[in-house]
Amino acid sequence: MFHRSERLLLRPPWPEDWKHVFGGIADEGVVRNLASAPWPYTAEHAHDFVALPVSPRFPRFLIARAYDAAVIGGIGIDLHENEVELGYWIARRHWGRGYATEAGRAALDVARMLGHRRIAAGHFLDNPASGRVLRKLGFVPTGAVRARHSCGRGETALAAEYALDLEGEAEPDMRAA
């Protein structure tokens, strides 16, 4: 599955993408904000990631810039504890350019097309930038803050939980992007 936004292309990972994945995510500052990526992140981890099967109902994408096809991150919709969850990462050199918000909007478009009705997301408390992205996407804090394991940290850390009702949602505030 592919999806295009204004500046980005969401596309499935291919085996030859392992170098792009490794080059973007093998950064402790990126990995520590993720629940499932290990640290240190090795070339073997990148090979394994791009070789994973992609589920049509729960797609995972690489985020590429539309104008030059450069891979700048990853985003996906997956099941976590019986909830459909949005997760993403952006390579550090691409932070602060609105790519996470734009990719998130595109992934939520895909979630709607797939018939998902509610999406959960969260961020570790020491990563407030991710919380700002989630709020721009229309996610609402649930009020829950829970310990969640982070493979990259090698321990649990507190994470704020959010949810987005795709059936009854209002349009996100585009001015906040």
The partner residues of 30 in beta bridges, in order of sequence, read: none
Domain ranges of the chain: 3-176
- What does the block give as tokens for 118? 């509610």
Q: Kindly provide the residue ranges of all beta strands, DSSP E only, lying in 14-129, ordered along the sequence.
A: 60-65, 71-80, 83-90, 118-124
Place of tokens 């050199």: 93
Chain centre to alpha carbon of residue 75: 4
Overall average pLDDT of the 105-125 stretch: 97
Torsion angles phi and psi, residue 89, rounded to 5: -150, 150
Architecture of domain 3-176: 3-Layer(aba) Sandwich (3.40)
99 vs 58: CA distance, rounded Å: 21
Q: What is the reported pLDDT for 175?
A: 47
**pTM to 2 decimal places:** 0.92
Pairing of strands 3-4, 83-90: unpaired
What is the three-class DSSP state of 151?
coil
- Residue 105: other Cβ atoms inside 10 A: 18
Please write the tens of the pLDDT for every residue from 33-91: 999 999 999 999 999 999 999 899 999 999 999 999 999 999 999 999 999 999 999 99
Nearest CA among 46, 30, 147, 144 for reference residue 87: 30
